[in-house]
Structure 1
Amino acid sequence: MKRSIIIIGLLLGTYGLFAQYAEDALRYSLQYYQGSARFMAVGGAFGGLGGDFSVLSTNPGGIGVFRNSETILTPSVTNRKVTSIYDFDGTLRDDNSVVFALNNFGYVNAKRLGRGGKGWKYFQYAIGMNRLANYNTSIYMQGENQSSSRIDTYIDDAVDFLNDGGTYDELLYHDPFYVGPAWETYLLDTVSDENFTYLISPVPAGGLMQTQRIETRGSNNEWFGSVGANFNDILYVGATLGFPYIRYYRDSYYAETDVENSETFDNWSVSESLVTKGMGINFKIGAIVRPIDWIRIGAAFHTPSYYWSLTDSWYTYTTSDVYAYSLDEWVVSDYKSVIGEYNYKLTTPMRFIGDLAFIIKKFGFLSAEYEYVNYSNAKFKANDYSFATENENIKSYYTSAHNLRAGAEWRVSSLSLRAGYALYSSPYKNNLNDGARQSYSGGLGYRGKSFAIDFAYVYSKMNEDYYMYIYSDPNTGDDISPKVTNELAESSFILSFKYYFN
């Protein structure tokens, strides 16, 4: 280690305060519903039909359609392939991840009210879990950069700190996770003459092979209780009190390696580990109206989800193999940061859903669903920090999304054939990123007297730009950030088991 600096009373919230980026708010606001096999096979367009456990997290009015009590269990397996294209030289890399998950499970109780006649016919309640989002992804990116290094961003940060009156020995206090460890491992160093001491780095501004691997794990699972009722087989109403629980794990490895025989640099790397956990609360209400036998119209409103206590825990590990100017010798060194922890709050946007379904007698149905959500309304909050800059970034980067889901089912005796499509529009403003997601689905099901088995296959794809770091040419001001285009292709296999209590 370069210098021995004892950290006493370090503010562990440094990362949480100043690196709580807008993409965190987007990640926890996005919902690609992971439901039953029947629900997934028709693209998730089930809000106007009801009678499926998954709709309790989209249109709770669907609980009013249940006439029998049932229990459901839905395991799934998903293969995600991410192909990464490094913008500067076109280098292509890909990585795969396979995830076994539980899409949902729970119990619905349907109680008949009276015998025949008009009025309220059924009352229902349900408890269980639906998965709202899956965070499991593995990404491998690599390419040659001739114009900058990530260390350049550290230099800019250090220079600003020093110009504001900070000292070199305080760099570790200023940023104990990135700039400070770079100083400790000679990635940032000094040279002196008779009059001045200069900040310098042995890492060249270009001629570097840049590599980054990111592995994320976790999910957003909504635990909930729902109630509903059926009025005269014309109006179906319901409400859900949800408790979404976030578990997010991110491990990133970033490295730069010399490719032009530098006299002062061989390689350096920084590994980052982040864990985020927390629970929130929301409320959903919905209804389905059946004006005539073959048409159903639905609508639902979701309040914002309020996460009252999200906790980030993180650390970094930096290594270097460089020439140390201040020692006048080559050194190999490493530095593991302290473990940081920070608690904060997040409010994600409200949602509006509209549904339309056509019932084709007892042979099947056609259904469609529209969802509106404005991602720019997400907001961070904490007791000891305003998040003003971060919340303004959210408003600047994101916009309203218009999500469409459509599906069909055709029954032949006890067998059902299904197909669906879903389009989640880009949440980004001014084409900052693509981010639109499309899903194509199909499946089949078998229903017996007291049980049902359903299978679905879903293929999803989306493109999204990723920047290894943000940097502008100091002479021209041009953006020379290393951009990577990530192309996601995802295949999911879903199997549901239902048991009916007649």
Structure 2
Amino acid sequence: MTKQSIWAVVCALCASSSVFGQYASDALRYSESNLTGSARFQALGGNHAALGGDPSVIHGNPAGLGFYNRSELTVSPAVTSINNNTRYIDDSRSSGKSNFNVAQASLVIASQPGFQRKWKGSSLGISFSRQQTFQDKYNFSGLNNRSAYLDQVVENVNADGTTVSQLETDFESDPAKGGPVAYSLPSAYYQMYLINPTSTTGPPYAPLNNNNSAADQFGTYSATGANTQWNIAYAGNYNDKFYIGATLGFSRLRYKYTRTFQDNYTDSPELVFTQQDENLTVTGNGINVALGVIYKFNPFVQIGGVLTSPTFTSIKETFNQNVSAQYVDNKVTGPDGDLITPPYTSLPIAPNDFVYSLTSPFRGNFGATFFFQDKGFITGSVEYVGYAGMGANTNYLSSTSNEAFKNETKAEIKDTYRNTANFRIGGEYRMNIFRARAGVAYLGDPYSRTDGLNRQKLLFSAGAGVRGSRFFADLTGTFLTYKTAFTPYTLASAQDYSSVEITNKPVNVMLTIGTTF
């Protein structure tokens, strides 16, 4: 296939509303942040707005750096355990996996306090933090008496009016030219005799005779990666009352998933199974800034707030697909009605590379902390997240297609997502060198469309720590529970397909150790 033909296919894909929906969902995936920071701040429910003296403030509210009067070095290893339950049609399954990672590391360099000046001191902070984890795994199965993935392929190719000539053009058989490879999903199904024209020129098409067989469906999903960030922050302390700071963040995005979906036909005269495999590899780099303040009314009450700009991320992705099938007695019915051996039982789809830019939501966080002398404190915060303001654009296609991608992705985002608020509260109890902490967070559902599934998240955390004159250590466990959904394929009639309901219950255990100097 020529380079020009490949570009035509890419442009056609990017003109599809389903693809715009894909990039709208990608915008949300790379923008959500459940819990960040050191073990201490995670135990408090992830409160960053109105607390200082912790390395978490470097990427949280940088004004908190102004509370430091000694330099500090910390590192936070963590173990994240993924536990998922799925329900699809009439079947339930469980799956999980664990991952070791470094969640946070930081260096704070504090100036010597200036007791005779209004500006008491300043601090510089550098930190590495894990803003998101994409570790995930689930599988599902169910007996479907109404449809199979093959029905979606037939519906789409018929709706598009694709001709036989187009399907043949979208296929390269010559090994010298990289074949066999298909340049569209329908072309792969056509070459494998899984969809067949009812006329010599093309539509309508019909699926390979399956005798209205039920399909025992099975799917898997496994993902790895993280959104990490390096921050450089600076803050000052004015008269031990007013603290102000700013931070510059450089993010690094890595995400990879593999997904399979298989239809095992229970009573088909020609088909044993069909299977779709896909994988996506994503890398990206981004930048953001934040400005924060904290004001201490008295030794017992302080308030704080931070405004964080959208993260502007440049992303490159590669998407791969493959179609495979097994036939009864390795034969199919040919165009003349005779049984023939299909030329292919497995075909790859040409990889699709794409480059685009993503704009994450604007965030505003406000909170207050109440101290009980030297016994501890309670802190809470409210965070506004402007999900409806997310956006994506590209210069990878023609000027017309670039503009269409930007505008229609934006429209899909506004139609699907809404601005929301997150609420967090936590507390710490102090007894000599020991600390005990607990927190809870409610993360609002960002979806404006309703499908009967509540996607709000609840987070519970608890931890303990010890503080010496030079060294400290904190251990925290967090538990998050929420629901998501995945739809393997869609059809014109909603009653003919189903979605997978996924109950996610990840657990994270983190240890932060540090020293002051």
Superposition TM-score, scaled by structure 2 size: 0.89
1:414 to 418, 433, 450: 433
Compute the displacement of 1:165 (Å): 9.5
- In structure 1, how many angstroms separate the alpha carbons of the residues matched to 2:425 and 2:363? 18
- In structure 2, how many angstroms separate the alpha carbons of the residues matched to 1:55 and 1:165? 60
One-letter code aligned to 1:36: S
SS of the residue 2:111 aligns to? strand
Matched, 1:258 2:258: no
- In structure 2, how many angstroms separate the alpha carbons of the residues matched to 1:234 and 1:407? 23
Cα-to-partner distance string for 1:291-323 (whole Å, 9 max, x where unaligned): 11100100110111111x200112112101235
SS of the residue 1:431 aligns to? coil
- In structure 1, how many angstroms separate the alpha carbons of the residues matched to 2:255 and 2:92? 27
- Greater helix proportion: 2
- In structure 2, how many angstroms separate the alpha carbons of the residues matched to 1:334 and 1:354? 55
Shift in alpha-carbon separation, 1:283–1:267, aligned structure 2, 3 A: same
One-letter code aligned to 2:350: V
Matched, 1:494 2:510: yes
- In structure 2, how many angstroms separate the alpha carbons of the residues matched to 1:497 and 1:363? 22
Counterpart for residue 112 of structure 2:
112
Query: Where in structure 2 are the equivalents of 1:341-420 lying within 5 Å?
Result: 341-383=353-395, 384=397, 385-386=402-403, 387=405, 388-420=407-439
SS of the residue 1:317 aligns to? strand
Percent same amino acid among aligned pairs? 24
Shift in alpha-carbon separation, 1:55–1:317, aligned structure 2, 3 A: same
- In structure 2, how many angstroms separate the alpha carbons of the residues matched to 1:62 and 1:495? 21
Counterpart for residue 125 of structure 1:
124
Matched, 1:329 2:376: no
One-letter code aligned to 1:378: M
| Structure 2: stretches of 5+ with no match in the other structure | 173-180
- In structure 2, how many angstroms separate the alpha carbons of the residues matched to 1:165 and 1:39? 61
- In structure 2, how many angstroms separate the alpha carbons of the residues matched to 1:196 and 1:137? 41
Residues 164, 202 of structure 2: 8 Å contact kept: no
Residues 84, 140 of structure 1: 8 Å contact kept: yes
Residues 321, 330 of structure 1: 8 Å contact kept: no
Shift in alpha-carbon separation, 1:431–1:118, aligned structure 2, 3 A: farther
Counterpart for residue 436 of structure 1:
456
Superposition TM-score, scaled by structure 1 size: 0.92
Cα-to-partner distance string for 1:53-88 (whole Å, 9 max, x where unaligned): 1122221211111111101100100111110001x3
| Structure 1: stretches of 5+ with no match in the other structure | 1-5
Counterpart for residue 98 of structure 2:
98
Counterpart for residue 221 of structure 1:
228
- Number of equivalences: 486
Cα-to-partner distance string for 1:384-437 (whole Å, 9 max, x where unaligned): 323232221111111111101110100111010010101111111143442211
Shift in alpha-carbon separation, 1:358–1:106, aligned structure 2, 3 A: same
Counterpart for residue 427 of structure 1:
446
One-letter code aligned to 1:178: L
Residues 367, 380 of structure 2: 8 Å contact kept: yes
Counterpart for residue 242 of structure 2:
235
Counterpart for residue 177 of structure 2:
none
Residues 181, 337 of structure 1: 8 Å contact kept: yes
Counterpart for residue 340 of structure 1:
352
Residues 170, 184 of structure 2: 8 Å contact kept: no
Residues 288, 310 of structure 2: 8 Å contact kept: yes
SS of the residue 1:338 aligns to? strand
- In structure 2, how many angstroms separate the alpha carbons of the residues matched to 1:288 and 1:196? 68
- In structure 1, how many angstroms separate the alpha carbons of the residues matched to 2:332 and 2:315? 41
Counterpart for residue 323 of structure 2:
318
- In structure 2, how many angstroms separate the alpha carbons of the residues matched to 1:177 and 1:196? 16
Compute the displacement of 1:180 (Å): 2.4
Counterpart for residue 186 of structure 1:
193
SS of the residue 1:167 aligns to? helix
SS of the residue 2:188 aligns to? helix
Shift in alpha-carbon separation, 1:372–1:198, aligned structure 2, 3 A: closer
